[in-house]
Amino acid sequence: MTADNSAISTAARHIREAKTGALGTLLPGGQPCVTFVSVAATGAGEPLFLLSDLALHTRNIKGDPRVSLLLRDSEAPEEGNDPLTGSRLTLVGRIARMDSAEARERYLNTHPEASDYANFSDFAFYAMTIESGHLVAGFGRIVEIDGAELRAEFR
């Protein structure tokens, strides 16, 4: 599958600009669970999270690293307008702990308010490896994006 450059650029913009998203994880019984999270991005375009071991999504990730992430356009429609007309991106992939200076720096540059608890022993940085994307960029514009195509946009 090959997505057009415009779709890939739009998806990459969502990843670069997103500050929050809906993270889908799997409960131990296999049921889906979605939580609201803060997000940043690595230089390679991997969504980046600071998660507590106490959180349900982190416990789920430790049991099964498969996740999905919904990002909404940072330029979403004004309140009162139909939010479904705005662009959004669903990413599918796997998540793993990422203990690196780059992860810490990038995340805290995006979320300086998190610096107080970034040093707590129960918090750690995690990065998502993107396997595929599903972009809805307006009425009738729905594009499936291969993870490799999306990752190439960040090289």
Alpha-carbon distance of 66 to 16, in angstroms, equals 21
pLDDT value at residue 75: 62
pLDDT value at residue 73: 80
Which residue matches tokens 């990413």?
A: 91
Which residue matches tokens 């991005």?
A: 41
Q: How many CB atoms are closer than 10 A to CB 2?
A: 10
Q: How many CB atoms are closer than 10 A to CB 120?
A: 12
pLDDT averaged over consecutive 10-residue blocks of the chain (155 residues)? 82 95 97 98 96 97 98 68 79 97 97 95 97 88 94 91
pLDDT value at residue 137: 86
**DSSP secondary structure, 105-155, as one string:** HHHHHH-GGGGGTTTSTTEEEEEEEEEEEEEE-STT-EEEEEHHHHHHTT-
pLDDT value at residue 133: 97
Which residue matches tokens 């499936």?
A: 144
pLDDT value at residue 141: 84
> Which string of b and e fits 3-27 if b means at least 16 CB within 10 Å?
beeebbebbbbbbeebeebbbbbbe
CB 44 within 8 A of CB 151: yes
- Predicted TM-score (pTM) of the model is 0.92
What one-character DSSP code corresponds to residue 99?
-
pLDDT value at residue 77: 54
Alpha-carbon distance of 151 to 129, in angstroms, equals 9
